[in-house]
Amino acid sequence: MSASRYCTFDDSLWPLLILRLVGEPSNQQFDEYLDTSASYLRRGEPHVVIADLLRVGIASAEQRRRRAEWLARHDELLRESLLGHAFVINGPILRLGLNILFHLKPPAWPYVVVPRVDPAIAWAAGRLEDSGLREPAERVRRHFGLLTLSQSG
């Protein structure tokens, strides 16, 4: 199984990056996921990430440790370019774990944890617009059929 089977990266609506993670990764898949994630950060462009974790498995203790190291190593790039991160999780155990983690060590960027993709998309479009990226925000809204403020009034 390749990393693409564990995680797909959809940048077709850049500066919105949508990740879809499925199953439990091998160590090689996990490393490829981290490497690809880093490549987006190295672009140095402001962006918002939606992580669809509806079908993800539990990472191993080793993978959680490597993720923590990756976050520490890329902290400056994350602070410079990540406008926000939406986590789509409907499993109570994963939601609780993420909420506890963020309570203990809040991320330096805005985030939201939601049970469905639609609110994550709306939130991401709002983050883009709030950051001065109106055209990409409108493109995201049009793509997903979300009403804009000008269309709703």
Determine the Cα–Cα distance for residues 110 and 133; give it in Å rounded to an integer: 16
Q: What is the pLDDT of residue 148?
A: 58
133 falls within a domain: no
Asked whether 41 and 79 are in contact (CB, 8 A), the reply is: no
Mean pLDDT per segment of 10 residues, for the chain of length 153 residues? Answer: 74 98 94 97 97 92 94 95 97 85 89 96 98 98 80 48
Q: What CATH number does the domain containing 10 carry?
A: 3.30.750.24
What pLDDT is attached to residue 2? 43
Q: What is the pLDDT of residue 149?
A: 53
Domain count, the chain: 1
Confirm whether 124 is domain-assigned.
Answer: no
- CA–CA gap between residue 103 and residue 96 (Å, rounded): 10
pTM for this predicted structure: 0.91
Tokens linked to 83: 């406008």
| Residue 40 resides in a domain | yes
DSSP state of 43: T
Task: Specify if 27 maps to a domain.
Answer: yes
